Amino acid sequence: MNLSGKPNPQSSLRLQVYLAHAGVASRRSSEAIILAGRVSVNGETVTVLGEKVDPSRDQVLLDGRPLALEKRRFYLVLNKPPGYICSSFDPQNRPLALDLLPGDIGERLFSVGRLDFRSSGLIIFTNDGDFTARVSHPSAEIEKEYLVEASGSIPDEALEAFSKGIEVEGIFYKALEVERTSWRSLRIVLIEGKNREIRRVFSHFHLHPEKLCRIRIGPVLLADLAEGFSRPLTEKELKELGKGAAVW
């Protein structure tokens, strides 16, 4: 650790890696937490990236609370109802999807990606930052499938544009698949899944998604998982997502 003596190169970890392994957030999100000045090591606030810590010697605090490396890994999938936020804290005091998970886990979990407040369906929660980074990275090319119901008739023009690719406010959006299921509903498959992608494309065509539900993440299916309930990912699902690890 470079804040309290010489680090042991065999045991030291970059601070953002330590946070990820402590179940705080993914590595990328942990970097933002460090830069925001929320982390201290041995009493000194760290606001730059690159610091290293020795888990056996150094005390790491997040918002004044001590952290420790997680000893068990958890991988859960939740059927999030609309009206819940995928965050560990909300200044508006909206309901947290985290609060729907089993209360006896005893570890700090975070979501892999996001579903916005009004959307529903599959969202994965874990305390494995490396897993989150792999699954979230565009190079993983993990498909996300959605059922969308609009407030009015969806024109063919919208389907064609989303299929071929369309630029909205300087951002390019392109679905892998778009299939009409009724005059006002679609089945959409995305790969990258940019922030609020479906809602922004719909808004471009003056459409409002009344219902937006994610029914699949790669090999993980919503199936009959009831709204508000969760289950562990199976060994097969984890393997297909690129994580050969035990499920707790």
Whether 90 is catalytic is no
pTM for the full predicted model: 0.74
Do the domains 75-138+220-240 and 143-217 sit in the same CATH topology, yes or no?
Answer: yes
pLDDT digits (tens, 9 = 90+) for 19-36: 888 878 778 888 999 999
For 53-103, write each residue's pLDDT tens digit.
998 889 999 999 898 887 788 999 999 999 999 988 888 989 999 999 998
Given the residues 54, 58, 116, 128, the one annotated as active site: 116
**CATH number listed for the domain at residues 13-66:** 3.10.290.10
Q: Where are the domains of the chain?
A: 13-66, 75-138+220-240, 143-217
Which pair of structure tokens corresponds to residue 78?
């939740």
Task: Give the whole-angstrom CA distance, residue 224 versus residue 222.
Answer: 6
- How is domain 75-138+220-240 classified at the architecture level of CATH? 2-Layer Sandwich (3.30)
As assigned by CATH, the class of the 143-217 domain is alpha beta
Q: Are 131 and 248 in contact (CB under 8 A)?
A: no
Is the separation of the CB atoms in 15 and 54 below 8 Å?
no
Question: Which residues neighbour 177 within 8 Å (Cβ) at sequence distance 6 or greater?
Answer: 163, 187, 188, 189
For residues 7 and 174, the model is more confident at 174
Q: What are phi and psi of 3, to 5 degrees?
A: -105, -10
pLDDT digit string (tens) for 188-199? 999 977 888 999
- The size of the chain, in residues, is 248
Q: What is d(CA 159, CA 152) in angstroms, rounded to the nearest whole number?
A: 14
Per residue in 104-117, pLDDT (tens digit) is 887 778 899 889 99
Cβ-contact 198, 149 below 8 angstroms: no
